[in-house]
Amino acid sequence: MNNFSFVNSELLILLIIPIIILIWNHIKKSKNKSSIEFSNTESLQSLTSVKTKFKNIPYYLKLVASSLLVIAIARPQSSTKWEESTTEGIDIIISMDISGSMLAEDLKPNRLESSKNVAMSFISKRINDRIGLTIFSGESFTQCPLTTDHNVLINLFKDVKSGMIEDGTAIGMGLANAVNRLKESNAISKVVILLTDGVNNSGTIAPLTAAEIAKKFGIRVYTIGIGSEGYAPYPFQTPFGIQYQDVEVKIDEKTLQDIATITDGKYFRAKNNSTLKKVYEDIDLLEKSKIETIEFKNKSEEFLLFGIASLCFLIVAFLLNITYLKRIP
* Chain segment 6-62, per-residue pLDDT in tens: 888 888 888 888 888 878 877 877 766 555 555 555 554 544 455 666 677 887 888
Q: Are residues 277 and 225 in the same domain?
A: yes
Q: Which amino acid is at 244?
A: Y
Task: Name which of 67-71, 79-83, 102-106, 169-173 the model is least confident about.
Answer: 79-83
Q: For residues 259-269, b (16+ Cβ closer than 10 Å) or e, as one string?
A: bbebbebbbbb
Pairing of strands 290-301, 231-238: unpaired
Q: What is the mean pLDDT of residues 155-178?
A: 95
Q: Are residues 116 and 215 in the same domain?
A: yes
- For residue 55, the enclosing domain spans 2-28+48-81+296-322
* Chain segment 168-196, per-residue pLDDT in tens: 999 999 999 999 999 989 888 999 999 99
Q: Are residues 199 and 219 in the same domain?
A: yes
Question: Within 10 A of 140 (CB to CB), how many other CB atoms are there?
Answer: 26
Report whether the peptide linkage leading into residue 109 is cis, meaning its omega lies within 30 degrees of zero.
yes
Does residue 261 have a pLDDT over 90? yes
Q: Are residues 112 and 237 in the same domain?
A: yes
Residue 252 lies in a domain: yes
Q: Are residues 143 and 229 in the same domain?
A: yes
CATH code assigned at 188: 3.40.50.410
Residue 195 lies in a domain: yes
Identity of the highest mean pLDDT range in 32-36, 55-59, 126-130, 266-270: 266-270
User: What pLDDT was estimated at residue 33?
Assistant: 56
User: What pLDDT was estimated at residue 77?
Assistant: 85
Question: Within 10 A of 147 (CB to CB), how many other CB atoms are there?
Answer: 14
User: What pLDDT was estimated at residue 169?
Assistant: 95
Query: 296 in the Ramachandran plot: left (φ > 0), alpha (ψ -120 to 50) or beta?
Result: beta
Residue 36 lies in a domain: no
Residue 56 lies in a domain: yes
- Confirm if 2 and 79 have CB atoms less than 8 A apart: yes
Q: What is the mean pLDDT of residues 109-131?
A: 94
Residue 37 lies in a domain: no
Q: Are residues 100 and 63 in the same domain?
A: no
Residue 123 lies in a domain: yes
Residue 138 lies in a domain: yes
User: What pLDDT was estimated at residue 98?
Assistant: 96
* Chain segment 82-96, per-residue pLDDT in tens: 666 666 789 999 999
Q: Which amino acid is at 236?
A: F
Task: Name which of 60-64, 94-98, 270-274 the model is least confident about.
Answer: 60-64
Residue 201 lies in a domain: yes
Q: Are residues 131 and 192 in the same domain?
A: yes
User: What pLDDT was estimated at residue 47?
Assistant: 46
Task: Name which of 11-25, 93-107, 134-148, 283-297 the model is least confident about.
Answer: 283-297
Of 209, 149, 204, 151, residue with least CA distance to 179: 209
Q: Are residues 143 and 274 in the same domain?
A: yes
Pairing of strands 76-88, 290-301: antiparallel
Q: Are residues 22 and 131 in the same domain?
A: no
